[in-house]
Amino acid sequence: MTDRYCVFGNPINHSKSPLIHAEFAHQTQQACEYTAEETPLDGFVGAWRAFVDAGGRGANVTVPFKGDAFALCDTLSHRARRAGAVNTLILGGNGRTYGDNTDGIGLVRDLTYHRVALAGKRLLVVGAGGAVRGILEPLLAEQPSEIVVVNRTADKAEQLVSDFADLGRISGGGFDALNGTFDVVINGTSASLTGELPPLPDTIFAPHAWAYDMMYGAEPTVFLQWAGPRGAKLLDGLGMLVEQAAESFFLWRNVRPETAPVREILRQSLNYQ
- Tell me how far apart the alpha carbons of residues 254 and 59 are, in angstroms, rounded to a whole number: 15
75 is in an annotated binding site: no
DSSP state of 237: T
233 is in an annotated binding site: no
d(CA 205, CA 2) in angstroms, rounded, equals 49
- 177 labelled binding-site residue: no
214 carries a ligand binding annotation: yes
Consult the annotation and say whether 260 binds a ligand. no
88 is in an annotated binding site: no
Q: Which residues of 102-112 are buried (b: 16+ CB within 10 A; e: fewer)?
A: bbbbbbbbbbe
Q: Of the candidates 109, 95, 189, 177, which has an alpha carbon nearest to the alpha carbon of residue 142?
A: 109
The three-state secondary structure class of 35 is strand
Q: Residue 162 annotated as binding? A: no
No. of H helices and E strands in the chain?
10, 12
C-alpha span between 196 and 225 (Å, rounded): 11
Phi and psi at 22, nearest 5°, equal -65, -40
Known binder of ligand: residue 87?
Answer: yes
57 alpha carbon, distance to own chain's centre: 22
| Residue 268 known to bind ligand | no
101 is in an annotated binding site: no
Is 237 within any annotated ligand binding site?
A: yes
On the 0-12 / 13-18 / 19+ scale of CB atoms within 10 A, 74 is exposed
Is 46 part of any known ligand binding site? no
- Annotation-wise, does 117 bind a ligand? no
For the annotated catalytic residues, the residue numbers are 66
Task: Give the count of alpha carbons within 13 A of 101, CB side only.
Answer: 28
Instruction: Report the amino acid identity of residue 212.
Output: Y
Are the C-beta atoms of 141 and 164 separated by less than 8 Å?
no
84 is in an annotated binding site: no
**Residues in a beta bridge with 210:** 184, 233
**Any known ligand binding at 112?**
no
Binding-site residue ranges for shikimate: 15-17, 62, 87, 103, 216, 244
Binding-site residue ranges: 15-17, 62, 87, 103, 127-131, 151-156, 214, 216, 237, 244
Binding-site residue ranges for NADP(+): 127-131, 151-156, 214, 237
